[in-house]
Chains A and B, each alone.
Chain A
């Protein structure tokens, strides 16, 4: 499986300095578009346009995992529809995605997937409103469901009530996308930590970085709580954060079609300014 590039950066500097760096491109095969990019089978952008149903399903599941919340909340905020209607709309959206309806015309060179999907949502809603032909829950309708996770619209609705009203639908969409990617990255990070016997690393990370407590516990307090030294706390947190960053960027790479898109989306994901 392709893992996030961990390039060996070693470059030669003037003899004045003792540190040395040499720069080498990561060992990543070229894709058909000529850029250094993960193999086709790991990119949802390519896989979603595949003729193989299993590959397509995997791709759509991956896209849906990151985008169902943004689509749901976007629909609620932009068109002020009820939560039931927004849930139906979200289901319909990903069903059509699965049926290749939207992604066939997606051109990676012309725009980012995130922007494209939002535009598709706009178009779908316009068409549905025009045709007054909403897909309701009922016999005969194709319902989108994912094996990997469930679409918990009630949770999404609760989060929506806590959202500031001044936010535009587009900002809401983008913000939810970031939130979803981070949540998925966290899950992967947790799984990796558990699989490698580093559960405590992730627990420390969750305790320090994922809880809302203000002020946060000090490293000394955490050390006492977990029965570790402060040096261990520093190192374990660094490990978990490193893993988290790696998994999030890995997830992002899957979602992007080109290196340029990845860089732009990474900047958006990480925020323009660090607060």
Chain B
């Protein structure tokens, strides 16, 4: 029997993982990354002559639920057409039996890599751009459930993309229906609800999915969650951006976080979802206020802080008027002599 060296064994392991693209329109270029239930590869679409990212299950999806979950992820991405969400181009099965889908290849850096050397205002503007696709998804009834720095990519041209919707789910249909006039659910709602249930079954009822530090308390407990679990994660992301560490790591590590920003984080990461911002848009509005030196809703300023903020915002005007008054005062003084 042929004996295999370590190098050959490693190569064979890589071969076994790599997708068998025979019979498809794709040509394998290289391995990119590992996802929750599969791996992502850079492939070339030989018909459209462009590079795309192909996500494929780890090993043959003999189990229905893994393939169904991948399909669900592709469907969610397909339903969310937004500049901040990677578009899905194709979905299918490889010759080796594994389910896959193809999406836009994002060449860029993760959020953590990108923010090095960036000022706080720039980091805050990044978070605003992360919140946009999340808000969009919420408006369409989807929750991401795994927002974290590793799932935010900044493309080569500065575009911000929210990645890895593998844990996404459809919002609680009952909640949505409650806001509308009473009517029976449509077939589409039942289908998406069934798919959501399928995802829940695939993810395991009561099983905890997500990333510690960025996961809301209700998600950690395995309770039913709504879009406010993403608000919590956005708050954790904000903390990461301004403090340089994830919320689970304790203090800001010597970084002084301005009180209004800390208040925005605290509100977004409130234990009770009712106490949080009720939408990503509400949170980004407060961040915009902070960037404009305007009062932040989450923080009640005292007089001194208000004065300091107004001064910071209008310092030149204040100085000019002060100089004018000083000049007037000096004139009066000399006139009295």
Contact = CB atoms under 8 A, between A and B. Distances in A.
Given A5-B97, A182-B12, A245-B96, A274 B18 contact: yes
B93 A9 contact: yes
What is the predominant secondary structure among interface residues of chain B facing chain A?
Answer: mixed
Contacts of A238: 20-22, 95
Contacts of A32: none
A244 interface: yes
B16 interface: yes
A271 B99 CA distance: 20
Residue among A5, A23, A267 with the highest chain B CB neighbour number at 10 A: A23
A197 interface: no
B61 to A, nearest CB: 7
Contact of B67 (A4, A9, A17, A36): A9
B126 interface: no
B79 to A, nearest CB: 8
B59 A13 contact: no
A242 B99 contact: no
B71 A11 contact: yes
Say which size band chain B's interface belongs to.
35 or more
B195 to A, nearest CB: 11
Contact of B99 (A21, A182, A263): A21
A10 interface: yes
B20 A241 contact: yes
Contacts of B20: 238, 241-242, 245
Contacts of A209: 8, 11-12, 15
A270 B59 contact: yes
Interface stretch (A78-86, A97-105, A112-120, A183-191): A183-191
A211 to B, nearest CB: 8
Given A14-B78, A270-B16, A178 B9 contact: yes
A244 B12 CA distance: 9
A239 B15 CA distance: 12
A129 to B, nearest CB: 30
A210 interface: yes
B39 interface: yes
A163 to B, nearest CB: 8
27 contacts: A5-B60, A7-B62, A9-B61, A9-B67, A9-B97, A10-B93, A13-B91, A17-B78, A155-B3, A182-B9, A186-B1, A209-B12, A210-B2, A210-B8, A238-B95, A245-B16, A245-B20, A266-B59, A267-B58, A269-B16, A270-B13, A270-B16, A271-B10, A271-B17, A274-B13, A274-B14, A274-B18
Closest 8 CB pairs of A and B: A9-B93, A19-B92, A271-B13, A238-B22, A274-B17, A5-B62, A274-B31, A245-B16
Interface of B: 1-18, 20-22, 31, 34, 39, 58-64, 67-68, 71, 74-75, 78-79, 90-93, 95-99
